[in-house]
């Protein structure tokens, strides 16, 4: 990969979606040095303009370009499984460093699945890097320092996931329902005035696809393949901001105060003392922290603990994590530039 004079040539695939739009904002905020920008999207978003890092691009359709990744240094994929399956490795072959938000490569043994605060070292010389699920990322940020200090015996989590995590169409459906509409097309049930414990296809074991993703991805990120992890994924009537009620037990004895001290000093975590906590409305669009509060002993499981975690799912839960992956790859010179 070669650095263009004055910055990098960047492509955003899925530029018209909520994650693609957030990526553009994050690149601006983090002063990511762009020499040029290409943007790819659906037929519906084609022709719209996207701005990032002082550059501007008209959104194109991938299939309309004979060599869409020619001269691209970094390609962010945020367009879903089918697009990543078809184009991500082609972008790598064209010379790009690819960070993919889809689920296609996350559990592939040859592809690192990265949350920089937890496992930046996994990036290595790889040119294709998977960006985890928007619920897995804050969970990994919170648990990784605890795992390093005390180990983990098990983890159980209930997620309360905002509608934006299901994409722009689901978010528009939520907003229409909030205005009094009753259409249900992109979510399994009406979400306004409701909570939906269904996120992805059901499996024979009774778990939904999202729940299985969270468990499998957390194990891979923490490099603990035998760690018992269970999840219940719930969609809630919130526009932006995922929340999680987390239960865990350390492998080695630890007190509540010891765990609190680890969380206070961990990167990207904002720890709340006592019974304090953050809520999605207070963090959405505000920052890239993982907000951890209500840490307390689990009275039902000796040696266990409970806490409440909140994160902006479009920022740290998706776009910011992807940009941080590239920053780590570049700054550590793990990819030749």
Q: What is the mean pLDDT of each run of 10 residues along the chain (337 residues)?
A: 69 97 96 96 94 94 92 97 97 97 97 98 96 98 98 98 97 97 96 97 97 98 98 98 98 98 98 97 97 98 97 98 96 53
Q: Is residue 243 part of a domain?
A: yes
Q: Do 267 and 150 share a structural domain?
A: yes
SS3 state at 222:
helix
Show contacts of 52-55: CB within 8 Å, 24+ apart: 52/10, 52/12, 52/23, 52/24, 52/25, 52/27, 52/28, 53/7, 53/10, 53/27, 53/28, 55/10
Q: Is residue 175 part of a domain?
A: no
Q: What is the pLDDT of residue 332?
A: 66
Of 275, 276, 272, nearest to 260 (Cα)? Answer: 272
Question: How far is 249 from 230, CA to CA, in rounded Å?
Answer: 13
Q: Do 141 and 125 share a structural domain?
A: no
Q: What is the pLDDT of residue 335?
A: 42
Residues with Cβ within 8 Å of 299's Cβ and at least 6 positions away in sequence, in order, are none
Of 324, 266, 330, 327, nearest to 307 (Cα)? Answer: 266
Distances (CA, A) of 272 to 15, 22, 138, 276: 35, 27, 15, 5
Distances (CA, A) of 309 to 46, 163, 241, 249, 277: 37, 17, 10, 16, 8
Tokens at 189, concatenated: 């049930």
Q: What is the CATH number of the domain that holds 232?
A: 3.30.360.10
Q: Do 323 and 282 share a structural domain?
A: no
Q: What is the CATH number of the domain that holds 59?
A: 3.40.50.720
**H/E element holding 152?**
strand 152-161
DSSP H helical ranges for the chain: 18-29, 81-93, 116-119, 136-150, 168-178, 209-222, 256-265, 280-283, 320-331
Q: Is residue 18 part of a domain?
A: yes
Question: How far is 238 from 253, CA to CA, in rounded Å?
Answer: 37
Q: Is residue 178 part of a domain?
A: no
Q: Do 261 and 207 share a structural domain?
A: yes
Q: Residue 169 in contact with residue 208, Cβ under 8 Å?
A: no
Q: Do 297 and 158 share a structural domain?
A: yes
Q: Do 141 and 109 share a structural domain?
A: no
Q: Do 216 and 86 share a structural domain?
A: no
Print the domain residue range for 284. Answer: 136-162+195-313
Q: Do 263 and 206 share a structural domain?
A: yes
Q: Do 217 and 284 share a structural domain?
A: yes
Tokens at 178, concatenated: 């909030």
Strand-strand pairing, 269-271 and 290-297: parallel
Q: Is residue 169 part of a domain?
A: no
Q: What is the pLDDT of residue 5?
A: 52
Q: Is residue 181 part of a domain?
A: no
Q: Do 146 and 87 share a structural domain?
A: no
SS3 state at 149:
helix
Q: What is the pLDDT of residue 281?
A: 97
Q: Is residue 170 part of a domain?
A: no
Active site residues: 134, 242
Number of domains forming the structure of the chain: 2
Q: Do 69 and 14 share a structural domain?
A: yes
Q: Is residue 246 part of a domain?
A: yes
Q: Do 155 and 127 share a structural domain?
A: no
């Amino acid at each position: 990969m070669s650095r263009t004079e004055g910055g990098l040539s960047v492509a955003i695939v899925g530029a018209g979606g909520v994650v693609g739009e957030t990526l553009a904002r994050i690149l601006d905020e983090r002063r990511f040095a762009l020499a040029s920008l290409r943007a790819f999207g659906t037929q519906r978003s084609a022709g719209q303009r996207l701005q990032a890092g002082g550059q501007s691009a008209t959104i194109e359709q991938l299939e309309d370009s004979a060599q869409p990744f020619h001269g691209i240094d970094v390609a962010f994929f945020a367009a879903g499984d089918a697009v990543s399956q078809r184009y991500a490795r082609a972008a790598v072959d064209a010379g790009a460093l690819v960070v993919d938000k889809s689920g296609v490569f996350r559990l592939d043994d040859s592809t690192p699945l990265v949350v920089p605060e937890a496992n930046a070292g996994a990036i290595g010389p790889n040119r294709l890097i998977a960006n985890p699920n928007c619920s897995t990322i804050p969970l990994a940020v919170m648990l990784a320092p605890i795992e390093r200090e005390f180990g983990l015996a098990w983890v159980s989590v209930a997620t309360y996931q905002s509608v934006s995590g299901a994409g722009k169409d689901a978010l528009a459906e939520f907003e229409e329902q909030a205005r009094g509409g009753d259409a249900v097309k992109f979510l399994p049930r009406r979400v306004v005035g409701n909570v939906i414990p269904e996120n992805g296809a059901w499996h024979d074991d009774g778990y939904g696809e999202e729940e299985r993703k969270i468990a499998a991805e957390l194990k891979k990120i923490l490099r603990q393949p035998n760690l018992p992890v269970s999840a219940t994924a719930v969609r809630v009537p919130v526009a932006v901001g995922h929340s999680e009620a987390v239960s865990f037990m350390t492998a080695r004895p630890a007190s509540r105060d010891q765990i609190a001290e680890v969380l206070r000093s961990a990167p990207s975590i904002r720890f709340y003392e006592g019974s304090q906590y953050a809520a999605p409305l207070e963090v959405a669009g505000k920052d890239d922290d993982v907000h951890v509060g209500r840490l307390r002993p689990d009275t039902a499981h000796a040696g266990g603990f409970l806490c409440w975690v909140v994160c902006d799912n479009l920022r740290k839960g998706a776009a910011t994590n992807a940009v941080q992956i590239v920053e780590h790859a570049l700054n550590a010179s793990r990819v030749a530039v």
